[in-house]
Chains A and B, each alone.
Chain A
Amino acid sequence: MNDTRQAGNSQVELNHDLLRAAVKVNTWLLAAVFACVGGLSLFMMTYISLYRGLPDPGQFLNLLGVFLPGYSVSHLGAWIGMFWGALIGAIMAIIFYRIYARSIASQVSEFMASDRPDRDLLGTTLRMDGNYLGLALGTIFALGLLSTTNWLVLRGTAHESRHAALLSEYLPGYSVSVTGSLIGAVEVFACLYLLCLLFSGIYNRTVVLRGR
């Protein structure tokens, strides 16, 4: 399947089968990386809490057990947490890349219009697309806030969730309720979108300054 796009003054015909295959490979590679990072992070955080020697180890980290069945700050809980961390990391990576990959087609068009096509295949440095990065991360975290808040509502423990309610310190209008979760999700999306624009701006400028 081919798709024709404009690049400068000429038409660029994209091979959609190749694009889809490349996106699929990248999605699985990113899922593997995020699964490792997510799993190991929760595993290490659990063990740090466990070995800090405080009177009540993991007093707050234990609350993750509300969302991750079987998890607790214990030796077994660390392994269960690693499983959940890896699973959630992989799912987040898949959603993230499926959204972010929409920027690749336009990047190819820009690339073909630029003076860079003669570069080595493996010598190209990634340029971040702040819009799609913000869209992807904003969507993931907004969905995360919606699902976790409404899980508390469905469990019937919304009125007891005073820790979750503390998010209203940063997200005005947020509360542990359906309406509050919607307001919070919109605010999280907006904040992350702006932060991603800043992030990609710093990254892309640094890449240019370094002559990559």
Chain B
Amino acid sequence: MDKSGTDKAILMAAFARIDPVALALALGSLCALVLFAMTAILLIKGSPPGIETGDHLSLLGIYLPGYAVNWPGACLGAVYGGILGAIGGFVLALFWNLTHYLYITAIVVRAAWWRMMAE
């Protein structure tokens, strides 16, 4: 295997871009699952008589209108988790790819500048 081939492979592995759609789908699915599971665990475990189930988790309703610790709330939480996770994943992938493009562009421009100055 020639050296330039492996060097290129290292750069390709290190600077590979993230697929925004795939990351949005993966993070969205995971956030939906986690928020549903967190709500469902509290509902299944229950709470002693006279104490409201999940009174702290239900504070998420401040940020997610309509969310509550009950079964419809768990489904709504999953939808919220899915949407927010997908948006977060998409933005994260765009940020990551953008920083790479900017960095590589800066290197190429700087190299071209020094080559021009040398000539």
Return the chain B residue nearest A14 by Cβ: B6
Minimum CB–CB distance from B51 to chain A (whole Å) comes to 12
The answer to the question of B115 belonging to the interface, with a C-beta cut-off of 8 Å to chain A, is no
Return the chain B residue nearest A107 by Cβ: B13
Complex contact A124–B12 (CB within 8 A):
yes
Contact string against B for A residues 46-67, beta-carbon threshold 8 Å, 1 for contact and 0 otherwise: 0011001010000010000000
Please, how many angstroms separate the alpha-carbon atoms of A125 and B30 in the complex? 21
A window 187-212: CB within 8 A of B: 195, 198-200, 202-204, 206-207, 210, 212
Q: Which of A70-78, A114-122, A140-148, A178-186 contacts B (4 or more CB under 8 A)?
A: A114-122
Contact string against B for A residues 20-60, beta-carbon threshold 8 Å, 1 for contact and 0 otherwise: 00110110011011001100000001001100101000001
The answer to the question of A154 belonging to the interface, with a C-beta cut-off of 8 Å to chain B, is no
Minimum CB–CB distance from B74 to chain A (whole Å) comes to 15
Which of B17, B22, B101 counts the most chain A CB atoms within 10 A?
A: B22
Complex contact A12–B6 (CB within 8 A):
yes
Which of B41, B63, B95, B101 lies in contact with A33, CB distance below 8 A?
B95
Q: Which residues of A contact B3 (CB under 8 A)?
A: 13, 15
Please, how many angstroms separate the alpha-carbon atoms of A33 and B92 in the complex? 8
Q: List 20 A-B contacts (CB under 8 A).
A: A15-B10, A19-B10, A22-B15, A33-B95, A33-B99, A60-B56, A104-B14, A111-B12, A124-B12, A124-B13, A126-B18, A169-B41, A169-B42, A170-B41, A199-B30, A200-B26, A202-B22, A202-B30, A203-B26, A210-B22
Q: Which A residues contact B (CB, under 8 angstroms)?
A: 7, 10-15, 18-19, 22-23, 25-26, 29-30, 32-33, 36-37, 45, 48-49, 52, 54, 60, 104, 107-108, 111-112, 117, 119, 121-122, 124-127, 163, 166, 169-170, 195, 198-200, 202-204, 206-207, 210, 212
Complex contact B23–A203 (CB within 8 A):
yes
Q: Which residues of A contact B21 (CB under 8 A)?
A: 206, 210
Q: Which B residues contact A (CB, under 8 angstroms)?
A: 1, 3, 5-19, 21-23, 25-27, 29-30, 33-34, 38, 41-42, 45, 56, 59, 62-63, 92, 95-96, 99-101, 103-104
Return the chain A residue nearest B54 by Cβ: A169
Please, how many angstroms separate the alpha-carbon atoms of A13 and B9 in the complex? 11
Complex contact B6–A13 (CB within 8 A):
yes
Complex contact A210–B7 (CB within 8 A):
no
Return the chain A residue nearest B104 by Cβ: A122
Q: Which residues of B contact A15 (CB under 8 A)?
A: 3, 6-7, 10
Q: Which residues of A contact B22 (CB under 8 A)?
A: 202-204, 206-207, 210, 212
Minimum CB–CB distance from B82 to chain A (whole Å) comes to 12
Complex contact B10–A104 (CB within 8 A):
yes
Which of B8, B26, B95, B100 counts the most chain A CB atoms within 10 A?
A: B26
Minimum CB–CB distance from B19 to chain A (whole Å) comes to 5
Complex contact B10–A125 (CB within 8 A):
no
Q: Which residues of B contact A33 (CB under 8 A)?
A: 92, 95-96, 99
Return the chain B residue nearest A7 by Cβ: B1
Please, how many angstroms separate the alpha-carbon atoms of A117 and B3 in the complex? 13
